[in-house]
Amino acid sequence: MAPPSRAIRRIQKEISDLNANPIEGISYEPVDDNLFNWKCSIKGASDSPYKGGTFSFKLTLPEDFPFKAPTVTFTTKIYHPGINDEGGICVPILRDQWKPSITLATVLSVIQEKVNNPSADDPFEPEIAAQLKNDKGAFLSTAREWTKKYA
């Protein structure tokens, strides 16, 4: 069954809006001209432990977009309390706070913010969150090491 044209129109509008107002440090493009599967990347901010790294992720839009949230899976390993070993990211707007009015630009900005500002709150990786909270120096050192090694 083909995806609804309403979803395709919305995605095309979102791409047009993103192209008109690019988000610094983020790249995105549909995979093989499939508007529902994107490959994206975020550059680590200069003031984050991920400085100098580029972190790739897949963004998959459901056929009933925008009524269901996209899924995001990081393909670059990252030492982060909010991103697990499988590449899942813990962001409320991709779970229970999703609304059809949320734009892909907002999703990408929130992911960028989450990556560059690791927080021990609402963690996907409790051990990493505990280290961030209790031994920030060790956390920062490991995050920088992983960034050099994987990103």
Q: Which amino acid is at 7?
A: A
Residue 90 annotated in active site: yes
CA 42/CA 139 separation, integer angstroms: 20
- What's the length of the chain? 151
Q: Which of 90, 107, 128, 143 is catalytic?
A: 90
Listing from the earlier edge strand, what are the strands of the sheet with 26-31?
26-31, 34-43, 54-60, 71-74
Chain position carrying tokens 């990556």 = 115
Chain position carrying tokens 């609402």 = 122
CA 134/CA 120 separation, integer angstroms: 10
Q: Which residues are catalytic?
A: 90
